[in-house]
Amino acid sequence: MIYSIDVRIEAPVRDTEVTDRVADAVRNAFPDAEPVHEDGRLVAEAHTLDAFSDVLHEQEILDTARRVFLRNSADDGFSFSLKKQAAFEGVVNFAVGEPDELGEIDVEVRVREPDVESFVDYVAPETDEGRPVDPAREYGDRFDPDEDDY
């Protein structure tokens, strides 16, 4: 699938945290992003969620991801938050309920092409007994957008 997205990632860095560890957490979840320290937080951008989608497939949490994405969607995109400690360990754990005292990794995905629902289908396809139904991409397929497009 050809798509065009902008991903903005923000993570607070508390005084008790090591900035490099928070940056590692962001890069573990989004290897195509390069976090920059700004005013007590790390900010990064990416233009693909393929590596993130691979982790969702590996952890077999496509249904959970899909629910989170669709629950937090709008006409132009969707958002979600991840637990920093889990991301540091290379695990996707969606932040729901009470906020973590150290803050979460907040992610906003702006979808320009195709529509939001089709992109969610691509990243976290519907499943039947844990297996993707009609996946738009195969696990491990990578689409690397041309940097000149951004």
pLDDT in tens, 55-98: 999 999 999 999 999 999 999 999 999 999 999 999 999 998 88
Write down the pLDDT at residue 150.
43
127, pLDDT greater than 90: no
Q: Which two tokens stand for residue 90?
A: 């290379």
What is the distance between the terminal CA atoms of the chain, rounded to a whole angstrom?
18
Write down the pLDDT at residue 136.
58
Q: What is the mean pLDDT of residues 16-35?
A: 95
Distance from C-alpha of 42 to C-alpha of 12, rounded to nearest angstrom: 6
Distance from C-alpha of 132 to C-alpha of 73, rounded to nearest angstrom: 21
State phi, psi for 50 to the nearest 5 degrees. Answer: -60, -45
Distance from C-alpha of 5 to C-alpha of 110, rounded to nearest angstrom: 6
Q: What is the mean pLDDT of residues 121-138?
A: 77
Helix (H, G, I), strand (E, B) or coil at 136: coil
